[in-house]
Amino acid sequence: MRAALGLWWGLQRREAAHDRRPTLLAVLAFAVSTTALLVSLGGTHAFVDRAAVAPPGDEYAPIYVVLALVACALLVVPILTLGGVAARLGVARRHARLATLRLAGATSRQVGLMTLAECAAQAFAGAILGALGYALALAPLSLLAFQGRRLGVDELWLGLPLVAAVVAGVVLLSVASGVGGLLRVVVGPLGVAARTTPVRLSAVRVLVVGCVVLAWFVVGQLTQQVGMAVTLGVLAAVVATINVLGPYVVMLSGLAVARLARGPETLLAARRIVDDPRSTWRSVSALGLGVALAALSSVGTVIAGDAGADPAGAVLGADIATGSLVALVIVSVVAATSTGVVQAARVIDQGPQYRALALAGAPIPFLHRARLREVTIPLGATIVLGSVLPLLVLVPFADLAGIGLLVRTVVAIAAAAALTVAALAASRPLVREAVRL
């Protein structure tokens, strides 16, 4: 064990700077997801705090708590997805080093333990940075006003024990995900490394989603009888099914585009999407969800604004709009990080292939265009699915205030998409470096 540890340390130290980039990407992803998680929890904490001290007659305080819980539940899925991306990056990138260690006589148990230790170290570093990010975000967040007054830093601060628990949770989740990754490597080393024809995702996914949506309609009618907890549970199930349906839709759209593609960049992009629809989905799902959230909430706000002339109701409407924008900002940052990290990791993995293409005369702009399409095809599909339906529902209610809100929503969605594309552009230097002659 000591020899293996020494070798591991040596490999670690000698790793060239560019081999550390996957580690940096993983730490960045852990950091962003931790910050996003803490901010979401902090916001929820603020409304719970306020409800606790609200006067007995205040019928709106509990609504705020429920809305904050719903927003938090919606945000947790993409945040955990980003954490999963980070953990995957940590394990998948170690094949070469694992092979070296195995050749040098380390047992698979030792190698596995080292991998998990590294994974945990990355998650810990990222989570600590993320907690710092949360602390830094408190001041600007306290400028936001809800229920007619500003959120206090003390309301948003979760307290040290809770923050420490979140950091520990991130590390635990990454280790769990690392164990999963290791098991896959152990079960089928070739299945992970070699690219074979991707397994087609099955249409059973559609059936599952159909059932859950049906359940949502039923529960929606019976909310009074079944109570808030069950309703929220089914809502969470609906959100989860989006993650079941997403990869399937992504795969179908990729297959369709691959069949119809005329240009080489579209063909390559579509094949990459079909190659790993789950990872493609992971890189765009957060934004799709955020977009749906923003669009839905603007529908809700308009309907609420129409219904009541009561001033507290108007404040609630405005607060929902503000809150959904904050959620959209969080989700955009998470989504952009997911896309940026997944795409950067793909360039690093496929450096030799990129280089071979460039040597054989493929212009670098072609590589950039193919990568852009790899993101914009699923992104476009997600945005259309996530926003068009709710916005269509909104149109009949579109008075002047509604149009203003609609414009704001569209602008916010466009900004979120632009942020994702910018995150993709951030890995352009990696492409240039990979093909440098």
Partner 1 sequence: MRPHPTAVTAPDTGDALVARDLVKTYPGVDAVPALRGVDVTVSPGESVAVMGPSGSGKTTLLHVLAGILTPTSGSVHWRGRDLARMGDAARTALRRTDFGFVFQTGHLLGELPALENVALPLMLAGVPRREAAGRAAAVLATLGLGGLERRRPGELSGGQSQRVAIARALVGRPGVVFADEPTGALDQQTSAEVMGELTRRCAQEGAALVVVTHDAQVAGWCGRTLRVRDGRIERPATPDRPDLATGTPNTSDRGTPPTPRDAAARSRDEQTVWAR
Site membership for partner 1, residue 255 (CB under 8 A): no
CA distance 372 to 368: 6
Q: Alpha-carbon dihedral of residues 424, 39, 179, 81, nearest 10 degrees? A: -40
Question: Which of 194, 199, 203, 400 forms a contact with partner 1 (CB under 8 A)?
Answer: 194
Tell me the window of 217-225, 256-264, 377-385, 403-411 that interacts with partner 1 (CB under 8 A): 256-264
Among 149, 138, 123, 124, residue whose Cα is nearest residue 39: 138
In angstroms, what is the minimal distance from the CB of 251 to partner 1?
Answer: 13
Q: Give Cα 242 to chain centroid, integer Å.
A: 13
Report which residue type is found at 85: V
Q: Are 103 and 315 in contact (CB under 8 A)?
A: no
Q: Which of 67, 116, 32, 130 is nearest to 332 (CA)?
A: 32
- Closest approach, Cβ 355 to partner 1, in A, equals 7
Q: How far apart are the first and last CA of the chain?
A: 41
- From candidates 363, 392, 399, 422, binder to partner 1 by CB under 8 A: 363
Residue 261 binds partner 1, judged by CB under 8 A: yes
R_g (Cα) of the chain, nearest Å: 23
Given 342, 357, 379, 424, the residue binding partner 1 (CB under 8 A): 357
Among 104, 125, 267, 315, binds partner 1 (CB under 8 A): 267
Contact region with partner 1 (CB under 8 A), list: 71-79, 308-316, 360-368, 411-419: 360-368
∠ CA 68-335-408, rounded to 5°: 65
| DSSP-derived 3-state class of residue 150 | strand
Shortest Å, Cβ 259 to partner 1? 10
Q: How far apart are CA 346 and CA 94, in angstroms?
A: 14
> Which H, E and C letters describe 305-324, residue by residue?
HHHCCCHHHHHHHHHHHHHH
Give the nearer residue to partner 1 in terms of CB position, either 63 or 192. Answer: 192
201 binds partner 1 (CB under 8 A): no
CB 342 within 8 A of CB 88: no
CB of 274 or CB of 327, closer to partner 1: 274
Residue 378 CB, nearest approach to partner 1 (Å): 15
Quote the CA–CA distance of 55 and 44 in Å, as a whole number. 19
**Nearer of residues 13 and 262 to partner 1, judged by Cβ:** 262
Q: Among 19, 49, 58, 275, which residue interacts with partner 1 (rule: CB under 8 A)?
A: 275
CA distance 344 to 111: 26
Q: Which residue, 118 or 374, is less far from partner 1 as judged by CB?
A: 374
Cross-strand pairs, 145: 150
The reply on whether position 19 binds partner 1 by CB under 8 A is no
Closer by beta carbon to partner 1, 166 or else 367: 367
Q: Are 185 and 179 in contact, with CB atoms under 8 Å apart? A: no
Of 131-139, 161-169, 269-277, 289-297, which segment contacts partner 1 by CB under 8 A? 269-277
Nearest Cα to Cα of residue 357 among 427, 437, 280, 279: 437
Q: Does the protein bind partner 1 through residue 437 (CB under 8 A)?
A: yes
The reply on whether position 397 binds partner 1 by CB under 8 A is no
190 versus 400: smaller Cβ distance to partner 1:
190
Closest approach of partner 1 to the CB of residue 267, in Å: 7
Told to check if 189 binds partner 1 by CB under 8 A, we report no
Written as six digits, the tokens of 428 are 């352009």
User: CB 197 → partner 1: shortest distance, Å?
Assistant: 6
For partner 1, the closer CB: 105 or 264:
264
Judged by CB under 8 A, the residue of 156, 234, 274, 296 near partner 1 is 274
| DSSP per residue, 184-230 | HHHH-HHHHHS--PPPPPPTHHHHHHHHHHHHHHHHHHTHHHHHHHH
Q: What is the nearest approach in angstroms of partner 1 to the Cβ of residue 194?
A: 4
The verdict on 271 binding partner 1 (CB under 8 A) reads yes
65/358 with CB nearer partner 1: 358
- Alpha carbon distance 317, 299 (integer Å): 10
Please identify which residue in 96, 172, 359, 407 interacts with partner 1, judged by CB under 8 A. Answer: 359
362 binds partner 1 (CB under 8 A): yes
| Look-up of token digits 């394990």 | 91
> Smaller CB distance to partner 1: residue 267 or 304?
267
With residue 5 as reference, give the H or E element that holds it: helix 2-14
Binding residues for partner 1 (CB under 8 A): 194-197, 261-264, 267-268, 271-272, 274-275, 350, 352-353, 355-357, 359-363, 366, 437
